[in-house]
Amino acid sequence: MSYFKTAILLAGMTALFMGVGYLMGGASGAMIALVVAAGMNMFAYWNSDRAVLSMHGAQPVDPRNAPDLYRMVGELANNAGLPMPKIYIMDNPQPNAFATGRNPENAAVAVTTGLMQQLTREELAGVVAHELAHIKHHDTLLMTITATIAGAISMIAQFGMFFGGNRNNNGPGMIGQIALMILAPLAAMLVQMAISRTREYAADEMGARICGQPMWLASALAKIDNAAHRIPNEDAERAPATAHMFIINPLSGRAMDNLFTTHPATQNRIAALQQLAGQMGAQSNAPTRSAPAASGFWNGGQSRPRGPWG
């Protein structure tokens, strides 16, 4: 996905934010909206990683308590030409992962215990490579900004109900205010979804190239998607604004969440990876199952399943 189209989508969201501000308070409302957006984005730039990790109860790990995972991330980061990111583990039964941080020098990769317990070493490598691709593309900052602006649009649209809109009687009126309160956040969500979906395809492709085996990631996506429909992620349910950061929508276990998913259809992502595997001369079927990754990555490396990083 080209960065030009992503920039257009971001510009559209920013214009929507200022447009809502204008309808609420005229030119001064648009200016206030711009100032609020700038302040929120500045805060998000410096603090988004810590805030998101805290929301999901992520705990840092190092070579002493997760040696295999640490070594895997280090080698994949080297393949990607990235500095070593910080590594976090979330005590959550749903297999999932996300990356965060304002730039590659201040990045973090977080994986759930469910991911390490249910995926093979090869599949876990595919997931980690996908998250490193987001870091290399600077997607982690992009997603945080879109989430911040989307939240601000919802906030300012709701404020309009209390302050009555433009004082010069050019506002949308009571019915228009109600419609705006509903439609403005919806429009922001649609733009946010479009940005998120385009970046997922790009991260899938680069992640597959980083680990060298597209089908490792394809197999992981199939497993994670299946588990997400069966195993709820309670931390994500309490912070739904972060759902787009995960490799698979963590809210998909709830029927309502499927109406406005932030991710492309998993089947389409797998199909794209299968096509890439063919182009790379890789085998276009799922990797042979090996020992679960959990024993090597979570229990201090005492029992290491065999694999390319074992």
pLDDT at 167: 46
> Which residues in the chain land under pLDDT 50?
1, 165-170, 253-259, 282-286, 288-310
pLDDT at 281: 83
The two structure tokens encoding residue 46: 């410096």
Residue of 122, 123, 131, 205 marked catalytic = 131
Across the chain, mean pLDDT equals 77
pLDDT at 310: 38
Domain ranges across the chain: 3-297
Residue 188 identity (one-letter amino acid) = A
Q: What is the pTM for the complete model shown?
A: 0.75
205 flagged as catalytic: no
pLDDT at 204: 96
CA distance 26 to 167: 8
* Distances 176 to 32, 266, 285 between C-alpha atoms, Å: 21, 38, 53
pLDDT at 95: 97
pLDDT at 194: 60
Per DSSP, the residues of the chain read --HHHHHHHHHHHHHHHHHHHHHHHHHHHHHHHHHHHHHHHHHHHHHHHHHHHHHTT-EEE-TTT-HHHHHHHHHHHHHHT-PPPEEEEE--SS--EEEEESSGGGEEEEEEHHHHHHSBHHHHHHHHHHHHHHHHTTHHHHHHHHHHHHHHHHHHHHHHHHH-S-TTTTS-HHHHHHHHHHHHHHHHHHHHHHHHHHHHHHHHHHHHHHHS-HHHHHHHHHHHHHHHTTS--HHHHH-GGGGGGBSS-TTTTSGGGGGG-SS--HHHHHHHHHHHHHHTT--SSPPPP-SBTHHHHTSTTSS---STT-
